[in-house]
Amino acid sequence: MYNYGKCEICNTLLEEKNIQQDFWIKGKLVVIENLPAGVCPQCGEKVVSGEVGEHIDRLLKDSNRINKAPTISVPFIKYEIESMAV
Ligand SMILES: [Zn+2]
């Protein structure tokens, strides 16, 4: 188990969790799930180890894998003050 240490923002001990993280790659939204990261229970800051970071880079450069991956549709909305429910 990797020791993530403390949160740089609020100094809380980070907890290891498998998270889902989104990345924008060349205008395309890619989500990696089951990503091991240190998550701050206080402020939500996320940290990954160097090794995991390198693996993420490799995954995100693998356009073959990305093209074959299942896709999800996401809501795509405009920023409009009028549409915001109060
Ligand atoms: Zn924090």
Our measurement of the distance from residue 74's CA atom to the centroid of its chain's CA atoms, rounded to an integer in Å, reads 16
Q: How many angstroms is it from 14 CA to the middle of ligand 1?
A: 8
Percent of the chain with pLDDT over 70: 95
The CATH fold of domain 15-84: Ubiquitin-like (UB roll) (3.10.20)
Q: How many angstroms is it from 40 CA to the middle of ligand 1?
A: 5
User: pTM value?
Assistant: 0.79
Burial state string for 61-75 with b = 16 or more CB within 10 A and e = fewer than 16: eeeeeeeeeeeeeee
Mind listing the pLDDT tens digit for each residue in 48-82? 999 999 999 999 999 999 999 999 999 999 988 87
Q: How many angstroms is it from 4 CA to the middle of ligand 1?
A: 12
Dist CA 81 CA 2 (whole Å): 43
